């Protein structure tokens, strides 16, 4: 375990969270290098008998140092914008290990991805396929393409992070996909390399994933019979982490469940975990500013929905604990931030023993934490620290007030 308690005090690897808050201030994101590396290696070991590539989903946490760490481990990357591509390149990632997902790829994004030589475009619509063909032909190259099929499988997760139903905006209807592959095979700027599906995030059971895989493999077999061979199969990401009382499957269980379905097909396997690699590696550390008793007791802290959006956006539950074991009796608090929105709640009805200036740690903050932060209410975004054993690296400086208006211009005439 990389996040532990010693004598009642919260530790990340060999650093006390109190010392990190004292050194770097709050709100503060803290990540464990050991936790990230352990999670990646578990995924990488899940399919030992098959050529495979773990493509970290950059949208979960795009901090350069974390991308650098994963690149050094041999990770590939799943991106959804040219900005994420540039972050991967800046961090030393190999473009030939990058897959480009997303429903709205612009021409300039396609051009840049072609120029650097990515592994594959996960094409999500027929219109995108036609545009990509035109862009590739104009540059005198072929675009490596994996069609993202929508298998119409219920991932049984939060509706905002479910992506594999026909009502969702993602992918090509699996019943239409065979015809779209035939069209792709006829286009001069397209080189078919794979098939991709992604049914959603924070999966806590394997049955929906196995169902989607079976439907996709049936399509792979039909395509092979039509003379359209598939080189790689991308099963997406989506394994959950434990926020409250979930018991998500492990990567090893994922491999044990899916490998027999793939059988002896000659397919390279790609997967796109994000949250499962970094989610439990991170804490958001925040300080209590005020305790406000009343009809409801509020603990007003210095972190807000601008720092951690998930509770406001999804009504997500994340564990909150005092950094140091307190001496006072617990009371039931709503933990809220200073933003002028009623939705600025980080945790409702939490039994906590608190006093002003107490430090709190919000768990499971390594994924969809800082990456979704904003400057609403003119709030600078927090710092990020990566703990590596005895060392604590400041990997992102706290934003300054002056940086809030960087790039803005006052009018030069009355």
Task: Just list the catalytic residues.
Answer: 340
Do residues 267 and 232 make contact, with C-beta atoms less than 8 angstroms apart?
Answer: yes
Give the largest CA-CA distance in the chain.
Answer: 74
Count of positions (residues) in the chain: 414
Positive or negative: CA dihedral 132, 133, 136, 138: negative
From CA 6, how far away is CA 167, in angstroms rounded? 48
Do residues 192 and 228 make contact, with C-beta atoms less than 8 angstroms apart?
Answer: yes
Q: How far is CA 61 from the centre of its chain?
A: 6
From CA 324, how far away is CA 110, in angstroms rounded? 50
Exposed/middle/buried for residue 126 (C-beta within 10 Å: 0-12, 13-18, 19+): middle
Which three-class secondary structure state does DSSP give residue 376? helix
Task: Copy the structure tokens of residue 19.
Answer: 């010392």
- DSSP for 27-58 reads SEEEEEHHHHHHHHHHHHTS-TTS-EEEEEEG
Exposed/middle/buried for residue 180 (C-beta within 10 Å: 0-12, 13-18, 19+): middle
């Amino acid at each position: 375990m990389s996040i532990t308690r010693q004598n009642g005090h919260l530790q990340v690897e060999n650093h006390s969270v109190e010392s990190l808050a004292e050194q770097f201030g709050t709100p503060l994101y803290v990540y464990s290098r050991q936790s990230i590396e352990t999670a990646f290696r578990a995924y990488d070991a899940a399919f030992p008998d098959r050529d495979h590539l773990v493509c970290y989903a950059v949208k979960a946490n795009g901090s350069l140092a974390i991308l650098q760490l994963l690149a050094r481990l041999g990770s590939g990357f799943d991106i959804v914008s040219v900005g994420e591509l540039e972050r991967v390149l800046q961090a030393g990632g190999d473009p030939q290990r990058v897959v480009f997902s997303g429903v709205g790829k612009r021409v300039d994004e396609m051009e840049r991805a072609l120029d650097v030589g990515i592994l594959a475009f996960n094409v999500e619509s027929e219109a995108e396929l036609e545009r990509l063909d035109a862009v590739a032909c104009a540059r005198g190259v072929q675009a490596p393409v994996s069609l993202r099929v929508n298998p119409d499988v219920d991932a049984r997760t939060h509706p905002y992070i479910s992506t594999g139903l026909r009502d969702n905006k993602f992918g090509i209807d699996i019943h239409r996909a065979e015809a779209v592959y035939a069209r792709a095979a006829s286009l001069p700027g397209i080189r078919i390399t794979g098939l991709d599906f992604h049914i959603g995030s924070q999966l806590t059971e394997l049955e929906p994933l196995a169902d989607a895989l079976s439907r996709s493999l049936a399509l792979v077999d039909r395509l092979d019979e039509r003379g359209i061979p598939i080189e790689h199969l991308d099963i997406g990401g989506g394994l959950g982490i434990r926020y409250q009382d979930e018991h998500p499957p492990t990567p090893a269980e994922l491999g044990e469940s899916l490998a027999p379905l793939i059988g002896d097909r000659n397919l390279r396997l790609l997967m796109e975990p994000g949250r499962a690699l970094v989610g439990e590696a991170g804490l958001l550390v925040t300080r209590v500013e005020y305790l406000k008793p009343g009809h409801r007791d509020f603990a007003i802290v210095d972190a807000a929905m601008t720092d951690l959006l998930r509770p406001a956006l999804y009504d997500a539950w994340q564990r909150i604990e005092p950094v140091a074991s307190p001496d006072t009796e617990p009371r039931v608090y709503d933990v809220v931030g200073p933003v002028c929105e009623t939705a600025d709640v980080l945790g409702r009805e939490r039994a906590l023993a608190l006093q002003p200036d107490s430090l709190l740690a919000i768990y499971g903050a390594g994924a969809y934490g800082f990456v979704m932060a904003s400057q609403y209410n003119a709030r600078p975004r927090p710092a990020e620290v990566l703990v590596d054993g005895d060392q604590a690296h400041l990997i992102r400086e706290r934003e300054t007030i002056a940086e809030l208006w960087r790039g803005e211009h006052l009018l030069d005439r009355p």
